[in-house]
Amino acid sequence: MIIDMENVSLMKDGKWILKDIHWKVDKGESWVVYGLNGAGKTALLNTLCAYNFPTKGKMEVLGREFGKVMLGEELRKQIGFVSSSLQQKFNLSYNSFEIILSGAYASIGLYEKPTQEIREKAISLLEQLGCMPYANRSYGTLSQGEKQRVLIGRALMAEPGLLILDEPTNGLDFVAKEQLLDTIDKISRTENAPTLLYVTHHVDEILPVFSHTLLLKKGEVFATGKTKDVLTSARLSDFFHLDVEVLWNHDRPALVRA
């Protein structure tokens, strides 16, 4: 089991931010967490990465039971986390290759001398992610989409069991977004691909590869299950309190007002 949450609740400053979350993610599944602004997506991710500790309930991530052992750093080495908010944290003068290499050391900087094997792995990720044209360019000069690819490469360097993509298409134009989604699709098909967790508030980004979806609303699980069963017009109309229609085209959903 990759994620196993039972009755997980989280209180912050006297307010319940997550309430009775039941959620199981098995190996071989890829999940979307879908919720509107303020639904608790960030709180849920921070809990998965052991930045938050559940106020109530039981949980396990990648076979590690919360509360039994000290988690934190050790768990986070097994989780790749890519979000647009991470983009700011890197030294802008490092080039793409160096940023990807730094993922091998689970640190923001690059303090150790990389082995030949690690260098080769970073080169193969540059190729796989289409980053070769800007491998030697400093991070500060990259576009948003290029930065996201480099950060995905950095996350994959550590061979994580779980790769969390937190709104990775933020700030991308249509073409850059579709190209990044193609790359994510490609990653999902690689041998030993990590379990993918894609967090978004845009239904149209839900690729066919995402077999399962969790709808999060006001800190509670509104629905979980196979993506096609969860993303129905009736269910989403109920979720939004607004009549919507889900249109499927080439196995991708789109949302319109009914």
Ligand X SMILES: Nc1ncnc2c1ncn2[C@@H]1O[C@H](COP(=O)(O)OP(=O)(O)OP(=O)(O)O)[C@@H](O)[C@H]1O
Q: Which positions touch ligand X (CB under 6 A)?
A: 12-13, 15, 17, 35, 37-43, 201
Q: Could you tell me which of 62, 36, 19, 96 has the C-alpha nearest to residue 197?
A: 62
Give the up-direction half-sphere exposure of residue 173: CA atoms within 13 A in the CB hemisphere.
3
Residue with Cβ nearer ligand X (40 or 103): 40
41 vs 121 by CB, closer to ligand X: 41
Strand order across the beta sheet in which 79-83 lies: 79-83, 162-166, 195-200, 31-35, 212-217, 220-226
CB 32 within 8 A of CB 210: yes
Half-sphere exposure of 62 (CA within 13 A, CB side): 19
Instruction: Output DSSP code: residue 114.
Output: P
Least distance in Å: CB of 61 to ligand X?
17
Q: How far is the CB of 100 from ligand X (least distance, A)?
A: 27
Query: Closest CB to ligand X among 51 and 248?
Result: 51
By beta-carbon proximity to ligand X, the closer residue of 146 and 166 is: 166
Q: What is the largest CA-CA distance in the chain?
A: 58
Nearer to ligand X, 20 or 185 (CB): 20
Q: How far apart, in whole angstroms, are the C-alpha atoms of residue 84 and residue 119?
A: 25
State in angstroms the smallest separation of the CB of 44 from ligand X: 7
Separation CA 189–CA 84 (nearest Å)? 24
Q: Which residues lie closer than 8 Å to 245 by C-beta, 6 or more apart?
A: 233, 255, 256, 257, 258
| Smaller CB separation from ligand X, 12 or 119 | 12
Cβ-proximal residues to 29 (8 Å cutoff; 6+ apart), any chain = 2, 195, 211, 212
Q: CA-CA distances (angstroms) from residue 4 to 7, 54, 133, 239?
A: 10, 13, 40, 24
CB of residue 233 to ligand X, shortest distance in Å: 23
Whether the Cβ atoms of residue 87 and residue 143 lie closer than 8 Å to each other: no
Of 94 and 210, which has the nearer Cβ to ligand X?
Answer: 210
Distance in Å, CB of 82 to ligand X, minimum = 15
